[in-house]
Structure 1
Amino acid sequence: MALADKIQQAWQKQSSWLIVFRPLSWLYRSIFLLQKSSQLKHAYRAPVPVMIIGNITVGGSGKTPLIINLVKYLQQQHIRVGVISRGYGGDGPFPILVNDQSLASQVGDEPKLIVQSTHVPMAVGANRQQAIELLLQHHDLDLILSDDGLQHFALQRDIEWVVVDSARGFGNERLLPEGFLREPLSRLNDVTVIEHNAFAHSALNMHLAVGQPYCLGDHSQVFDTEVHYRAVVGIGFPERFFQTLAQINVRYTAHVFADHHRYCLDDFKTFPAQPIITTAKDAVKLQQLWADQLEQLQRIWVVPVEAILSDACYRQLNTQLRQLDIAVSDDS
């Protein structure tokens, strides 16, 4: 097992040996605060309001489904929305616009999935100012959503939403690398916190609803729960995907890859002739890998999920948008 995997497991178990990383956590905190102070002095103010969707932990929290939900809602409200992202895992060149023809290897898996699901104007690049400027060169927008970037203080923001996954919690509540916090828990006092939990305690909450699995190469195929699948997953919190498979009674053998893993044919050379089941985020990369091999695509099944937000989330968003002079319909 790789060291990174061992550390991930130790974070979840709150293993006592993680204390050996405490000096590094102190160093991380010092560097983080210095960088934050420096970036804030020269932070870029976009000509349109910016809303950041992020988290304070390492690993998946359900952020991408939330962004897709918000984009669709804003589009229904006739708000001209665009999205920016770092484009992690993509080769660029950056900044770059994302469209339906973009490859996940070029723009990153999450941006590809977001545009594939919403057709929203989107630009990616580590320099978020450049991404915004490129986006605004091609689109007139009322609002820009930033996929992550909560800790990118070089970008001024008007709204900050942080997704907190109650299933994961905060581990030992320590900063990296002793724990999996990117920022101290006190950061949550300054943002809008969205609790990710089907049985949430907060009024501002979301959960993921599981859709009907579909075949990547042939949507007419009928999903069979009696078959044994190879579950291929490369996301920040793979355990959530396995919980989903258990929820829909899927029998599987797990194959876990790193978050944003770039799949290659060698990853599957020892696989038996069994169907593969995966996430929508992984599917955009597998579709590229076997783009000209329909037979391979016909053995890949995708489990779609949709973020379901509480009514309070939409009311909160509407209030925040009105404060920015962005018109929205009356709350239902």
Structure 2
Amino acid sequence: EQQGLYNKLQGKGQEKIEKETPKIEKVLPEIYVEKLGFWDRVGILNILLMPISLLYWLSISIKDLFNRRQISSVNEVPVIVVGNVSAGGNGKTPLVSQIAKDLRTVGYRPTIVLRGYKGNFNGTVELNDDSDAKHVGDEAIFHYNRGFPVVVDRDRARAVSYAQRNINTDIVISDDGLQHHGLRRDFEIIVEDSKRDFGNGLFIPAGPLRDKKERINKTDLFLYSGRNKDNVDFFELEPASWVNIKTGDEFEIEDYPFGTSANLISGIAKPERFLNSVSNLGIACEHKFFPDHHYFSENDIKFDFKRAILMTEKDAVRMDKKLIQKNMWFLKMKVKLNVNITKLITDKLNERKL
């Protein structure tokens, strides 16, 4: 149906139970209403931080004054940049993976580059089967597990250069890098969470903005993550399947390979949304939430009742191999778009004969 399963999973048409989300709680399937975060309101502390935010805005303005968008020459592989104006989780990583998949479907050979956030590597690293999240970052492993060549480097421009010289690729997609002025770009996509919608509109650290909102008027495509009230371009994340972390076996959502009660762990930007998705599938969970990009310990996966342990795909790549159990599963998501990004990209590249 047009509304999309993901919105249904967010609890539309159901009674929402508003309550504080403790770190651990035994619950029956129910919906959690997201509370306003620090960057979603303007309080005393936000106001006190505004002088620092002003300095942040000033630095951005100076960079904008002296930097102009660079594009690829006919001898260079074209570059697609997917980024965001505000900090925080917005579904950008699965969107990048979907764009790469769609481009590969029409004949391109995409490579994904990113900074390797939280990774402890040095220089430029091309991922291989021995790469792990602690070395190159969880987002890089996410893309590599989806079957794409991946290069990490703090300097995204250098990563692009490496990909062109060393990988059989004809298009590069940068996961993040909107503010990386040294990175050339031939098509630029900005993503924003439809629920937050730029939060309180203030710059870091008083608010979530790391670039000016007007930037969306200069980009090739602005997308909301999640359906929005104005019905402009957006994408949704929908549950696709359950994947066993130990064996790799994949099951349909409706199969419930572990039953209808489970334990849940998550260390992502908005873990409540993952819990809502699982709860709306009729699964009762005892859950533990952790900070974004958290690496799980043995104590983290201990629960009062021994049941299946559920997590997101990004959580799964941060699970130490020694801790993986036969009844651990991640919920694989798929991206549903209301705009043909592939056509927009290929049309623009064809115009420039890239």
Q: Deviations over 1:181-234 (max 9, x none)?
A: 1112111111110122246644532111112223212437853453142x2112
Q: Unaligned 5+ residue runs, structure 2?
A: 1-21, 23-34
Residues 292 and 16 from structure 1, CA distance in 2 versus in 1: closer, same or farther, beyond 3 angstroms? closer
Aligned to 2:157: 129
Residues 267 and 280 from structure 1, CA distance in 2 versus in 1: closer, same or farther, beyond 3 angstroms? same
Aligned to 1:81: 110
Among 264, 271, 283, the residue aligned to 1:250:
283
Residues 175 and 113 from structure 1, CA distance in 2 versus in 1: closer, same or farther, beyond 3 angstroms? same
Q: Deviations over 1:20-71 (max 9, x none)?
A: 2111110111223334556x27979682221100111111111111111111
Residues 316 and 129 from structure 1, CA distance in 2 versus in 1: closer, same or farther, beyond 3 angstroms? closer
Aligned length: 313
Residues 160 and 44 from structure 1, CA distance in 2 versus in 1: closer, same or farther, beyond 3 angstroms? closer
Query: Pairwise mapping of residues 22-33 of structure 1 onto structure 2 (< 5 A)?
Result: 22-33=50-61
Among 199, 216, 240, the residue aligned to 2:273:
240
C-alpha deviation, 1:277, in angstroms: 1.1
User: Do residues 227 (structure 1) and 261 (structure 2) align?
Assistant: yes
CA distance in structure 2 between the aligned counterparts of 1:243 and 1:14, rounded to whole angstroms = 27
Contact 1:225 1:251 in 2 (8 A): no
C-alpha deviation, 1:152, in angstroms: 0.9
Higher helix share: 1
Among 169, 172, 184, the residue aligned to 1:141:
169
Contact 1:129 1:155 in 2 (8 A): yes
Q: Unaligned 5+ residue runs, structure 1?
A: 2-6, 327-332
Aligned to 1:19: 47
> TM-score of the superposition, structure 2-length normalised?
0.79
Sequence identity, in percent?
A: 27
Among 212, 222, 230, the residue aligned to 1:184:
212
> TM-score of the superposition, structure 1-length normalised?
0.84
Aligned to 1:4: none
User: Do residues 322 (structure 1) and 350 (structure 2) align?
Assistant: yes
CA distance in structure 2 between the aligned counterparts of 1:8 and 1:125, rounded to whole angstroms = 34
Residues 257 and 323 from structure 1, CA distance in 2 versus in 1: closer, same or farther, beyond 3 angstroms? farther
Contact 1:79 1:142 in 2 (8 A): yes
Q: Report which structure shows greater RCO (CA 8 Å, sep ≥6).
A: 2
CA distance in structure 2 between the aligned counterparts of 1:140 and 1:228, rounded to whole angstroms = 43
User: Do residues 175 (structure 1) and 203 (structure 2) align?
Assistant: yes
Aligned to 1:273: 306
Q: Aligned partner of 1:123: which letter? A: V
Contact 1:44 1:154 in 2 (8 A): no
Q: Aligned partner of 2:218: which letter? A: D
Residues 93 and 266 from structure 1, CA distance in 2 versus in 1: closer, same or farther, beyond 3 angstroms? farther
Aligned to 1:330: none
User: Do residues 209 (structure 1) and 243 (structure 2) align?
Assistant: no
